[in-house]
Structure 1
């Protein structure tokens, strides 16, 4: 919302916060524009004017940078690896951080659950927006040529999405309790091992090359 008048920026923030509260209370399927408007202290007409529809508001929420990081070119330059052996750390850190964010936010998890719904226009828009954001994230952090990073990412991110949904439903998977931190520590260690294995294949392959390098070091900013 950069560049917009201050009052519109503040109003948009109130609407987004009201949407989060609404999803947290009612789940994504029972969200109501009237309640969002009441919580935000605005008219329903204003929400439609700003976002076009309830679905448009949800898509805006998904794309505003709260759930998926938006890297500037400068940050990407600092993240760019010097050698292929650095790739695993970049990949697994971002995957782990992204899904920690989902697990800590019920509204985010609710929207993730929407991707499993069939024949629902709202779910279709949410699913498309989520996929666009994941695709953007993967494309930004690829840093290599000569391998199908999208297919690899689809397998791992798809699995992490499924596990996150199962955790919200208080389920176990292969005997691992996804309601516990100990269970998720095991999952995160597995994610690291998978990316390290994929990274080793990339390092050993003559067909895989790094994209052009613009900096002299990796900025170690992720936890």
Structure 2
């Protein structure tokens, strides 16, 4: 490949990246304005100022675009092997902090950004192909995240995570709908501080149980790397 061809290919890649970004930003705007039920290729194309044919070419349609959005790493972080090496617990008691920090930060993001909250609601929308695709992509990302952070062997981290993440998802949706739970005001920072403190208590208790159990092993760092502050 000559220099001109290489420069042309690079320009095409840059243009595609910029166009993709515009489409994603348009998607977020539409979701914020109309909810997941209000998204559509025509509406996204108009807001992004692109042809709807381009959206089909890049993503295969609305379902593909939403799946791409969920898997971008904005909703659920993607850790590189190097990052995971640093996150890996240094001491037995570090496991709780790693888990409750990630859960708290993830759901703070959902509470802060309306588009993210609307996407989270896909799990409770019935009989809708777009919602089904989005919910499936979310579950795949949650499964990946739990798998990456499962520094515990001998405990059912998937089931434990399903209970906690499911509860946090439900509470986040309830908060958007201006609901309370057990008389806790989910619209207030005070209410969410209580929820976050409860999450810390649960993980600290689970950590203590894991340390005292003969059937559970914790995967600690083999070298004394500093634990990443994320």
**TM-score, normalised to structure 1's length?**
0.95
Correspondence 1:170 to 2:178: yes
Question: SS in structure 1 opposite 2:224?
Answer: coil
CA RMSD of aligned residues (A): 1.3
The equivalent residue for 1:209 is 217
Correspondence 1:24 to 2:24: no
The equivalent residue for 1:154 is 162
Question: SS in structure 1 opposite 2:127?
Answer: coil
Flag the structure with larger Rg: 2
Shift of residue 85, structure 1, vs aligned partner: 1.5
CA contact (8 A) 2:89 2:220 kept: no
The equivalent residue for 2:90 is 82
Question: SS in structure 2 opposite 1:179?
Answer: coil
| Alpha-carbon distance change, 215 to 63 in structure 1, aligned in 2, over 3 angstroms | farther
Correspondence 1:11 to 2:1: no
Mapped to 2, the partners of 1:221 and 1:163 lie a distance apart of 26
**Number of equivalenced pairs:** 220
Mapped to 2, the partners of 1:64 and 1:113 lie a distance apart of 18
The equivalent residue for 2:7 is none
Out of 133, 141, 151, which is 1:133 matched to?
A: 141
Mapped to 2, the partners of 1:186 and 1:221 lie a distance apart of 23
Shift of residue 214, structure 1, vs aligned partner: 4.3
Shift of residue 221, structure 1, vs aligned partner: 1.2
CA contact (8 A) 1:85 1:199 kept: yes
Mapped to 1, the partners of 2:166 and 2:99 lie a distance apart of 15
CA contact (8 A) 2:91 2:220 kept: no
The equivalent residue for 1:42 is 50
Give structure 2 stretches of 5+ with no counterpart: 1-9
Mapped to 1, the partners of 2:132 and 2:110 lie a distance apart of 19
CA contact (8 A) 1:171 1:177 kept: yes
User: Deviation digits for residues 170-217 of structure 1, max 9, x if unmatched?
Assistant: 000000000001100000000000000111100101111123634413
Mapped to 2, the partners of 1:20 and 1:142 lie a distance apart of 31
The equivalent residue for 1:109 is 117
CA contact (8 A) 1:27 1:110 kept: yes
| Alpha-carbon distance change, 149 to 99 in structure 1, aligned in 2, over 3 angstroms | same
Correspondence 1:54 to 2:50: no
Mapped to 2, the partners of 1:218 and 1:129 lie a distance apart of 33
User: Deviation digits for residues 33-83 of structure 1, max 9, x if unmatched?
Assistant: 112111111100000000001011011000001111111100000010123
Out of 172, 178, 187, which is 1:179 matched to?
A: 187
Give structure 1 stretches of 5+ with no counterpart: none
**TM-score, normalised to structure 2's length?**
0.92
